[in-house]
A and B are shown apart, each in its own frame.
Chain A
Amino acid sequence: MTASTHRGDRSLAAGQRPATPRAGTPGRPPRPRRPRPLIAFGHWWWALPAIIAVTAIHYAATAAGGFFAFTDWSGIGSFEFIGWDNFTRILADPVQLGALRNTLLIAFGSVVLTNVIGLGLALALNRGLKTRYVLRVLLFMPVVLSPLAVSYIWKFIFEYNGPLNQFLGALGLTSLQKAWLADPTWSIWVILVVVVWQNTGIAMVIYLANLASVDPGIEEAAALDGAGVMQRFRHITLPSIRPAIAISTTLGLINGFRVFDQIMALTGGGPAGATETLATEVYKETFSLGNFGYGAALALMLTVIILVFAIVQQRVTRDRSKEGQ
């Protein structure tokens, strides 16, 4: 997950240039180009164990899963090939449609919120403040914790007798007090809050890394020319952090689609299925109920959604970054 997409994005762009990847290292005198190196680096079969492992564990397993999505297999015994039946059943089931809606809500909601808050924190902590390093370390801390542990803390906060309702009571807002996680309307928003709290730090450090490479001189010059804070942000900062926006939103989206641990710890999918997502439904159908075929169909839907959004996102952000340069 994480940093990989970033590197991938850049390496892809580099790979499309006609030059060989290792030519043109900056700061070195240009060497005469050869079509093929005269010396060998390593042996090709060094990559073989990795290729076999990844082909088996990622591709073969996924392909097999895709196959079972069109069967009624229960995990043991024989199975029938049933075409698109699983998918028609999914699309006719209000629980699964709710899970689909929740998956999209959490993915997009968390992307928007983590990026807005993360960018705000990055801008505030970019330079100037004496304690900016300490603040960065503190604000990034939730990222390294297990989502399960984080969820338990928040479950307590949102309890009926928990700190949040106490706080609302102290403010005289007793009408707002409720059992947050048992409320079908509010529970999904609680999960969103927990996901955002834990992942904001990732967006923050991605933006900080990008901002560090922006020359403060340009902004300084613009300020001397009388550009206001908002103008400087729109015309100088925003165009230069487009790569970070691309990486951070793609990553956030992919992670948002996969949210599982938080839901298992906070609500278990309840109340009455109000917080089910595709990931939790896949788990329940396949491992609790033994509907392997049906669960595989749900997983295939999730896979297709993630791949489609990953591709769309790559396209959109790549075009924009070209236009920005």
Chain B
Amino acid sequence: MFHYTRWTALREVLLWIVALIFLLPFYFLISTALKSDAEVFSTNPVAPPSAMELGNFAEVFTATGQSNILLGLLNSVIITGGSILGLVVLGSLAGYVIARSTRRWSKVAYYLFLVAITLPTQLGTVPLYIGARTLGLTGSPWGMIVLYTGMLLPLSIFLYAGFFRGLGIAYEEAAVMDGATPTQVFFLIVLPLMAPATGTVAILAGLIVWNDFFTPLIFLAGSGAQTLPVAMYFYVGSLVSQWNQIFAIVIVSMIPIIAFYLFAQKKFMQGFAGGLKN
């Protein structure tokens, strides 16, 4: 039934047309970023650039202060990397004992994390801000790492607990029979097995942290430690309809994540599709 027929070929062509229309915004993005100032104001916005104008990109890297894109990139890398590390370490330990324990407290803890996932962050933002300010955690990448780790731990624990439940205990039992302590079992047996779950946690949580705009806008306000989206926001805010320059910074901000996505696209889609089935 599912042979490749003329009808399938037609369907394929139609879908490519749909996909090209769907991706049309990327054409505008790239073609406009390559236009000169004169051209962007005078010509048709749909027309391709007459010459490749790379000056807009050079301009992006000269911005200083809050719109310093290189500093933003560095901060985003530090904050995202640190948060992933915290989420993997704390999330896997907690997810493991919660999945393995048959005691009542583990079920209570599980629901504690479950409900926290649906709880929107807005209501807690102000008290959190005041708390963080009191503890001196605002305005620094380290404070952001602590904050994100706490904010996204429920998601991380959830993914790990689900993974460990599906893992089965045969390996661990065998190790215990051979005299391994619980700590040895976790670090020598479980840790090497949990790579798929760790990948999903890193991708989902990493993407949330990397693209987040609201939290750094508030918690890093006024400091020199802005992240990439916030630096882009301030850079764009200083321009008026200079779409060539706006799009240059938009492209620069997109390059790291698109490169990473193309490198690990299967894992990205699996993560969003609910995870750890494969």
Per the bound structure, the CA–CA distance linking A302 and B120 in Å amounts to: 8
0/1 string, B156-168, CB within 8 A of A gives 1:
0111011001101
Inter-subunit contact A129/B150 (CB<8 Å): no
On whether the beta carbons of A265 and B233 are closer than 8 Å, the reply is yes
Residues of chain B within 8 A of A75, CB atoms compared: 126
Residue numbers in A under 8 Å from B194 (CB-CB): none
A3 at interface, CB cutoff 8 A: yes
Residues on the A chain within 8 Å of B45, using CB: 156, 159, 161-163, 166
B114 at the interface (CB under 8 A from A): yes
Give the segment of B53-61, B77-85, B104-112 that binds chain A.
B104-112
- Given the interface pairs A143-B272, A156-B247, the reply to whether A261 lies near B213 with Cβ below 8 Å is yes
Q: Which residues of A contact B213 (CB under 8 A)?
A: 146-148, 260-261, 264
| Contact B182–A258 (Cβ < 8 Å) | no
Give Cα A159 to B242, complex, Å. 12
Q: Is the interface of A mostly helix, strand, loop or mixed?
A: helix
Verify if A306 is at the interface (C-beta below 8 Å from B).
yes
Interface of B is mostly: helix
Q: Cβ of B70 < 8 Å from any Cβ of A?
A: no
- In the complex, per-residue mask of A11-23: 1 if CB is within 8 Å of any chain B CB, else 0: 1101100001110
Tally of A interface residues using CB under 8 Å: 115
> Whole-angstrom distance from the CB of A12 to the nearest CB of chain B?
7
Q: Are B232 and A148 neighbours in the complex by a CB distance under 8 Å? A: yes
0/1 per residue, A145-178, Cβ < 8 Å to B?
1111110111011010111001100000000000
Alpha-carbon distance between A12 and B118 when the two chains are bound, in angstroms: 14
Minimal beta-carbon separation of A287 from chain B (angstroms)? 6
CA–CA, A209 and B22, complex, Å:
22
Question: Interface residues, chain A, CB within 8 Å of chain B?
Answer: 1-8, 10-12, 14-15, 20-22, 25, 28, 36-37, 39-44, 46-47, 49-51, 53-62, 64-66, 68-69, 75, 121, 124-125, 127-131, 135-141, 143-150, 152-154, 156-157, 159, 161-163, 166-167, 197, 201-202, 205-206, 208-209, 216, 220, 223, 247, 254, 257-258, 260-261, 264-265, 278-279, 282-283, 286-287, 292, 295-296, 299-300, 302-303, 306-307, 310
The 6 closest A-B pairs by CB, nearest first: A61-B124, A57-B150, A6-B274, A41-B100, A64-B127, A209-B273
